[in-house]
Amino acid sequence: MAMITDRSAHGFLRSYLCSSQASYWVVAGTAVGNLLTRLLDWQDRARQRRRLFALDGAVLKDFGQNSADASRKGDKPYRRP
């Protein structure tokens, strides 16, 4: 018990607790950032697939695709790349 008292008197315990709380904020911020990035990626994929469905055969042929390829790619769920 004397060691804890000595450390807290010197501020070691206090700085350790503050740094661990800061790391919790970093972890939480990273998790929120990753979630937001994932949601934005899903939204972008869904938008791209809607646009792919809207293209006609001539435009698809320009970049080497056909309507069957576009349909197969567009039918995938937004969660799957």
pLDDT band at 1 (very low <50, low <70, confident <90, very high): very low
Helix 12-54 to helix 67-74 angle (10° resolution) is 150
CA–CA separation, 42 and 29 (whole Å): 20
**pLDDT on residue 39:** 94
Residue 29, pLDDT above cutoff 50: yes
Name the pTM for this structure.
Answer: 0.59
**pLDDT on residue 35:** 95
Residue 24, pLDDT above cutoff 60: yes
Most confidently modeled range among 2-11, 27-36, 55-64:
27-36
CB-based contact 67:57 (threshold 8 Å): yes
Q: Which residues contact 74 (CB under 8 A, 6 or more apart)?
A: 49, 50, 52, 53
CA–CA separation, 40 and 77 (whole Å): 15
**pLDDT on residue 15:** 53
Residue type, 77: P
CB-based contact 4:13 (threshold 8 Å): yes
